Amino acid sequence: MKSIVAALLVWSSINSLTNLSTQKGWRGIVPLQSTREEVDRLLGTDANRRECVEFLCSYHLRDANVQVKYAVGDCKKHRGGWDVPPDTVIELEVTPKPNPQFSDLNLDLTRFKKTPMGHLEGVIYYVCEEEGFSVVVANGVVQSFRYEPTVEDRHLRCP
Interatomic CA distance for residues 131 and 152, integer angstroms: 8
Q: For residue range 29-86, what is the model confidence (pLDDT) as tens digits? A: 999 999 999 999 999 888 778 899 989 999 999 999 999 999 998 888 777 799 999 9
Are 58 and 67 within 8 A, CB to CB? yes
Q: For residue range 20-31, what is the model confidence (pLDDT) as tens digits? A: 544 689 999 999
Rounded to a whole number of angstroms, the distance between the first and last alpha carbons of the chain is: 56
- For the chain, give the percent of residues with pLDDT over 70: 86
What is the number of domains present in the chain? 1
Are 96 and 63 within 8 A, CB to CB? yes
Interatomic CA distance for residues 53 and 56, integer angstroms: 5
Residues 6+ apart with CB under 8 A from 15: none
- pTM of the predicted structure, to 2 decimals: 0.83
For the chain, the average pLDDT equals 85
> What range defines the domain where residue 113 resides?
2-156
